[in-house]
Amino acid sequence: MDSEGRRGLTLISPPLMFAIALLAAPLLMVVAFSFWTQNYLDIDRSFSLANYHEAWTKPIYQALMMRSLRISVLVTVVTVLFAFPIAYYLSFHVHRRKALWLFLITIPFWTSYLLRVFLWKVILGYNGVLNSAFLWLGVIDEPMTFLLYNANAVVLTLAHAWAPFAILPIFVALEKIDRSLLEAAEDLGDGPVRRFFRVTLPLAMPGVIAATLIVLIPTVGDFITPRLVGGTDGLMISNMIQIQFGKANNAPLGAALAVSSMGIVASVSLMIYLIGKKFRGKVE
Toward other proteins, which CB reaches closer, 107 or 139? 107
Chain positions 149 to 168 lying near other proteins, rule: CB under 8 A, are: 160, 163
Q: Contact at 8 Å (CB) between 52 and 256?
A: yes
Among 63, 66, 81, 104, binds other proteins (CB under 8 A): 104
**Phi and psi for 145 in degrees, rounded to 5?**
-105, -5
Nearer to other proteins, 63 or 108 (CB): 108
Of residues 29 and 63, the one with the C-beta less far from other proteins: 29
- Is position 280 an interface residue for other proteins (rule: CB under 8 A)? no
Tell which one of 41, 46, 93, 278 touches other proteins (CB under 8 A).
Answer: 93
Number of residues engaging other proteins in binding (CB under 8 A) = 82
Residues 92-106 as b/e (b if ≥16 CB within 10 A, e otherwise) read eeeeeeeeebeeebe
User: Count of alpha carbons within 13 Å of 185, Cβ hemisphere only?
Assistant: 16
From 59-67, 111-119, 145-153, 180-188, span contacting other proteins (CB under 8 A): 111-119
Q: How far is Cα 238 from Cα 257, in angstroms, rounded to an integer?
A: 9
The yes or no reply on residue 185 touching other proteins (CB under 8 A) is no
Q: Which of 174, 199, 177, 176 is nearest to 186 (CA)?
A: 199
Determine, following the binding rule CB under 8 A, whether residue 56 of this chain makes contact with other proteins. no
The reply on whether position 184 binds other proteins by CB under 8 A is no
Which residue stretch of 59-67, 103-111, 178-186, 273-281 sits at the interface with other proteins (rule: CB under 8 A)? 103-111
The pair phi, psi for residue 247, each rounded to 5°, is -55, -45
Which helix (H) or strand (E) segment holds residue 165: the answer is helix 163-176
Considering beta carbons, is residue 179 or 282 the nearer one to other proteins? Answer: 179
Q: Cβ neighbours of residue 48 under 8 Å, at least 6 residues apart?
A: 35, 36, 37
Point out which residues pair with 43 in neighbouring strands. Answer: 38
Angstrom distance (rounded) from CA 164 to CA 145: 29
* CA–CA gap between residue 164 and residue 15 (Å, rounded): 28
Cα–Cα dist 79/73, whole Å: 10
Using the minimum distance from each CB to other proteins, give the nearer residue, 17 or 283.
Answer: 17
Would you say 155 and 263 are in contact if contact means Cβ atoms under 8 Å apart? no
Instruction: Give the nearest distance from C-beta 203 to other proteins in angstroms.
Output: 18
Stretch that binds other proteins, among 57-65, 80-88, 182-190, 271-279 (CB under 8 A): 80-88
Q: Give 205 or 216: the residue with its C-beta nearer to other proteins.
A: 216
Stretch that binds other proteins, among 50-58, 180-188, 197-205, 257-265 (CB under 8 A): 257-265
Binder of other proteins out of 63, 66, 81, 115 (CB under 8 A): 115
Least distance from C-beta 282 to other proteins, angstroms?
Answer: 26
Backbone angles phi, psi at 227, to 5 degrees: -65, -45
Shortest distance, position 263 Cβ to other proteins, whole Å? 11
Question: Rule CB under 8 A: is residue 258 a binding residue for other proteins?
Answer: yes
Site string for other proteins, 214-243 (x = CB under 8 A): x--xx-xxxxx---x---------x--xx-
